[in-house]
């Protein structure tokens, strides 16, 4: 007998709601967020267990912990709905979504591969964001006094000349923020070295580095985020995952033909930009890869971009097409386990 379990996860406790195949609510239980106790609670449920929980801080740990104890484990995006809300309501809603098959449409992929590389990518991203914030804070001190500093303010050896231009009170603040920035830059360098060391151990990263515009850092970010390229059947699915899918909207799709006897579909569809439900990091990676290719003087992709612009396409749309082609090449190289070959590109449009 199937049992559909909704689990609302929080740091201190987890609420388990067990539902039968007909929708009957069987029982509800609150368990401490402890690995051993959660496993015992799941194993104590008779029948074929199907578990659903929301994406969160503990979701990866719980997925690795509980996957082997259930027939099916689905992680979904957090739900947004009006009305009353508490742990019990959320747990029963997750169980119901899983029972009727709605949870699979909102599922989030979880994998066990590349754990060290994924940890290194998270550390590098966090260090980079902290360093950028520290730079912005230091730069804001000078801008507040009507100064426009250059990159010398980030260097411990050359920032003294800029500090002398500030009043004494602001100078103290600039010195403090500069000290914080020095620590952040050192941490960022350490995180980069760690990521490059882990990337050198992964063959998939080395293979993706052959794609134009991608380096060890960006290739590592792709591998750590995608994990399994086999889950994308076509390049268009991968484009949507990366935020490079084009959203179209249409209404009143059918009109009569010129004779007035038959109905035919309208040819015009209105575009509404790129899809927003995506992985922003991958979107940034492929956009930066496209910009890097545009700096090359001779490359098939750069030549294709120039031809597209000469044909009347706007430069921003031509850059989008270039980013989509790089993403498609990345997926193909990874799935086929081969090195990038520029001769395999065909003239095509997005």
Contacts of 301-304 spanning 24+ positions with Cβ under 8 A: 301/212, 301/325, 301/326, 301/342, 301/345, 304/345, 304/347
pTM value is 0.85
DSSP 78: P
Q: Residue 347 has what pLDDT?
A: 54
Please say if the pLDDT value at position 228 is more than 60.
yes
Q: Residue 350 has what pLDDT?
A: 42
Quickly count: other Cβ atoms within 10 Å of residue 20's Cβ.
Answer: 15
- Segment 39-56 mean pLDDT: 95
Cα–Cα distance between 257 and 264 in angstroms, integer?
6
First to last CA, the chain: 48
Which whole-number Å values give the CA distances from 138 to 54, 161, 234, 242, in the listed order?
A: 39, 15, 45, 33
Cα–Cα distance between 192 and 198 in angstroms, integer?
10
Please say if the pLDDT value at position 74 is more than 50.
yes
Cα–Cα distance between 240 and 103 in angstroms, integer?
19
**DSSP secondary structure string, 160-203?**
HHHHTTS-HHHHHHHHHHHHHHHHHHHHHHHHHHHHHHHHTT-H
Supply 333's token pair: 């190289």
Q: Residue 215 has what pLDDT?
A: 94
- Segment 269-294 mean pLDDT: 90
Please, which pLDDT band fits residue 160 given cuts at 50, 70 and 90? very high
- Segment 153-158 mean pLDDT: 92
Q: Each residue of 86-134: pLDDT tens digit?
A: 999 999 999 999 999 988 777 888 888 899 999 999 999 999 999 999 9
Higher confidence at residue 217 or residue 273?
A: 217
Among the listed residues 5, 94, 16, the one whose alpha carbon sits nearest the alpha carbon of residue 47:
5
Which whole-number Å values give the CA distances from 148 to 90, 169, 286, in the listed order?
A: 51, 18, 31
Q: Residue 345 has what pLDDT?
A: 67
Among the listed residues 334, 335, 343, 344, the one whose alpha carbon sits nearest the alpha carbon of residue 207:
334
Percent of the chain predicted with pLDDT > 90 = 79
Cα–Cα distance between 142 and 152 in angstroms, integer?
12
Please say if the pLDDT value at position 348 is more than 70.
no
Q: Each residue of 185-203: pLDDT tens digit?
A: 999 999 999 999 999 999 9
- Segment 317-330 mean pLDDT: 95
């Amino acid at each position: 007998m199937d049992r559909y379990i909704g689990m609302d996860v929080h740091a201190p406790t987890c609420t388990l709601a067990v539902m039968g195949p007909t929708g009957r609510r069987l029982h509800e239980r609150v368990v401490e967020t402890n690995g051993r106790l959660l496993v015992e609670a799941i194993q104590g449920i008779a029948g074929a267990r199907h578990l659903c929980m929301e994406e969160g801080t503990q979701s990866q740990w719980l997925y690795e912990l509980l996957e082997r104890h259930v027939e099916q484990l689905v992680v979904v995006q957090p739900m947004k709905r009006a009305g009353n809300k508490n742990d019990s309501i959320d747990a029963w809603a997750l169980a119901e979504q899983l029972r009727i098959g709605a949870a699979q449409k909102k599922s989030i992929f979880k994998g066990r591969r590349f754990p060290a590389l994924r940890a290194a990518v998270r550390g590098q991203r966090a260090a980079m964001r902290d360093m950028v914030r520290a730079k912005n804070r230091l730069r804001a001190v000078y801008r507040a006094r009507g100064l426009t500093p250059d990159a010398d303010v980030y260097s411990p050896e050359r920032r003294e000349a800029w500090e002398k231009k500030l009043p004494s009170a602001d100078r103290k603040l600039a010195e403090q923020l500069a000290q914080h920035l020095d620590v952040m830059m050192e941490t960022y360098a350490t995180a980069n070295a760690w990521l490059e060391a882990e990337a050198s151990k992964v063959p998939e990263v080395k293979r993706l580095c052959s794609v134009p515009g991608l380096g060890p850092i960006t290739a590592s970010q792709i591998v750590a985020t995608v994990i399994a390229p086999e889950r994308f059947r076509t390049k268009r699915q991968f484009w949507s995952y990366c935020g490079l899918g084009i959203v179209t909207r249409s209404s009143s799709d059918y009109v009569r033909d010129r004779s007035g006897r038959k109905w035919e579909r309208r040819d015009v569809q209105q575009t509404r930009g790129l899809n927003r439900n995506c992985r922003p990091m991958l979107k940034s990676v492929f956009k930066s890869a496209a910009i890097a290719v545009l700096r090359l003087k001779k490359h098939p992709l750069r030549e294709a971009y120039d031809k597209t612009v000469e044909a009347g396409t706007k430069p921003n749309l031509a850059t989008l097409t270039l980013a989509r082609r790089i993403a498609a090449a990345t997926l193909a190289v990874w799935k086929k386990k081969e090195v990038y070959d520029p001769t395999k590109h065909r003239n095509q449009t997005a």
